[in-house]
Amino acid sequence: MKGKVNFLVKFLILSTVLFLIWIPLGKVYLLLLAWVSKCVLLIMGYNAGLVVDGSPVLFVYYGHVAVMENAHLMNFNIIPLVALILATPRIELVRRITMLAIGIFLLFCMHVIDLVSHFTDYEVLVIFMAVGEVAVPFVLWFVLAHKEILGNMQKR
């Protein structure tokens, strides 16, 4: 029981610290996300413009303007994934770094799909992505750290 409480406390502390770090870092992440999403939209045949010289970031598409004010706070589901991976005990450093790289890359791809789906008429995808973004960090953590999670449960 003590190990579970330690894990929970570690997770909560890491989540708080990472969120504070994310506030300024998320703006850079949003710019990267916007540029990659613009490239995906161009490949799909959507000629969307991106205005980044001011704040907030703007997407322009056939006269419609999508204002991305405070959008850097919407993609913060990276925080629980990183906190879960860092809080999970008995993971070797190289494996932990690999898990972080895979998890962050997959969440980034999901964020691109989410942003791109708002420019298409795929309402079902938008709803799915909104629900999925809450669960995905925890599912990814379980998939990436299942050996440690299940191994820890079997030893107790």
96-139 pLDDT, tens digit each? 999 999 999 999 998 888 888 777 666 666 677 677 778 889 99
Band of residue 9 on the pLDDT scale cut at 50, 70, 90 = very high
- Highest mean pLDDT: which range of 4-13, 63-72, 74-83: 4-13
Note if the bond before 89 is cis, omega within 30 degrees.
no
Q: Comparing C-alpha atoms, which of 120, 9, 129, 7 is closest to residue 75?
A: 129
Whether 28 shows a pLDDT value over 90: the answer reads no
In this prediction, residue 26 carries a pLDDT of: 85
- How far is residue 88 CA from its own chain's centroid? 19
- The residue with greater pLDDT, 90 or 121, is 90
Q: Edge-to-edge strand order for the sheet containing 64-68?
A: 49-51, 57-61, 64-68
Report percent pLDDT > 90 for the chain: 37
Report pLDDT digits (tens) over 51-65: 777 666 666 766 666
Q: What type of residue is 28?
A: V
Question: Which helix (H) or strand (E) segment is 59 a member of?
Answer: strand 57-61
In three-state secondary structure terms, 90 is coil
Q: What is the pTM of this model?
A: 0.82
Question: Tokens 């973004």 — which residue?
Answer: 133
What distance in Å separates the CA atoms of residue 78 and residue 137, rounded to the nearest whole number? 7
Report pLDDT digits (tens) over 34-44: 889 888 888 98
- The residue with greater pLDDT, 117 or 6, is 6
Q: What type of residue is 129?
A: M
Q: Comparing C-alpha atoms, which of 84, 75, 61 is closest to residue 22?
A: 75
For the chain, the residue count is: 156
Question: Tokens 């570690």 — which residue?
Answer: 10
Q: Is the dihedral of CA 107, 134, 113, 49 positive or negative?
A: negative
